[in-house]
Amino acid sequence: MATIKARTYTGAEAEAILGVPSTIECRADGDTVISLNWADRVASYARVKYKDDSKTLWAGSSQSEWITMLDRGQDSLVAKSYEILDSLAEIEFPEYLTSTRTLQADVMGARLSVGAHLSGSPIPFRRRKGTLSSEPLDVVIDIGANVDVQASMMLVRGICALAIVQRAQVNRAVTLWTRTYNANLGWGQNSPHNAVLVKVGVAPLDVSAVAVAIGHPSMPRRWLYKVQQHCIDKVPSMRGASDALPAPYRSIGLESMPCPYIVPRLDRDDLPHSESPKDVLDWILCHDGKPIVRT
């Protein structure tokens, strides 16, 4: 197998490929991360929409409807998220939405601090403890789904994710990202994983725009999948496919975030029991809606 040369496209090179300011990072391990800003959404879609032959039922909207939502947001999704915010009051949120975990000295700690031990500290052991944090929390909504997942299920997942984001903002500042992840674009074995990261914004968030970014199935199916394919057409080193771990368990594109909270991708073998908000919330909070914990 040929060695893959790592390369990062920025500035004019990246803009020539995607038509907007962006970063395209082709890594030596075959992973590719495409980073965009939400502010450039309309211009980016205009660049790739000529490839958009998505069916309205599958994408959740017509192309003209999607262009309007992308530009102006959608208040109806916000209204639906407010409807389920009351139910969140009865749900026990993971501590990561309200706190951060730090290592603290403890005689019963499970970890040994080599530095403390060598310096002669009487308490060289450390344990993790959750404490209230005012630091921004990176929330990553993995907005992708298998091709046969209904758009209606994606819409409910997005509305519930929006409610979670609004609830999380009560306790700490939120930096919101969306991510799509695909291991099946192209051919061969040299470039197995492609991800698109979009930085939607930092709190206080424009919830109408956020609702479209994280809630509507057209976001991945009309725009970001097209971004991936467009880059693959323009950058041959991105071509490839291989078996991959489920998206929530791969940190591709998330390495710079200390401990992101992830709302997971919808996979055909692992879906909520129904499209009711309660079942979808339970699925997010109790299954894979958890941070990548790095040790």
List pLDDT tens digits, range 188-246: 444 457 788 999 988 778 888 888 999 899 999 999 988 888 887 887 666 654 444 54
Place of tokens 């965009």: 36
Rounded to whole angstroms, the Cα distance separating 232 from 239 reads: 6
Q: Are 262 and 290 within 8 A, CB to CB?
A: yes
Tens-place pLDDT, residues 45-98: 988 887 788 889 999 999 999 999 999 888 888 888 888 777 666 666 666 565
The fraction of the chain above a pLDDT of 70, given in percent, is: 77
What are the DSSP E strand ranges found in the chain?
A: 7-9, 23-26, 32-37, 99-105, 111-112, 125-132, 137-142, 174-182, 194-202, 261-263
Please indicate whether residue 158 or residue 132 has the higher confidence score (pLDDT).
Answer: 158
Please tell me the pTM assigned to this model: 0.77
**Domain spans of the chain?**
7-98+133-288, 101-132
The string of DSSP letters for 36-95 reads EEGGGHHHHHHHHGGG----HHHHTS-HHHHHHHHHH--HHHHHHHHHHHHHHTTS---G
Q: Are 224 and 196 within 8 A, CB to CB?
A: yes
Rounded to whole angstroms, the Cα distance separating 260 from 136 reads: 10
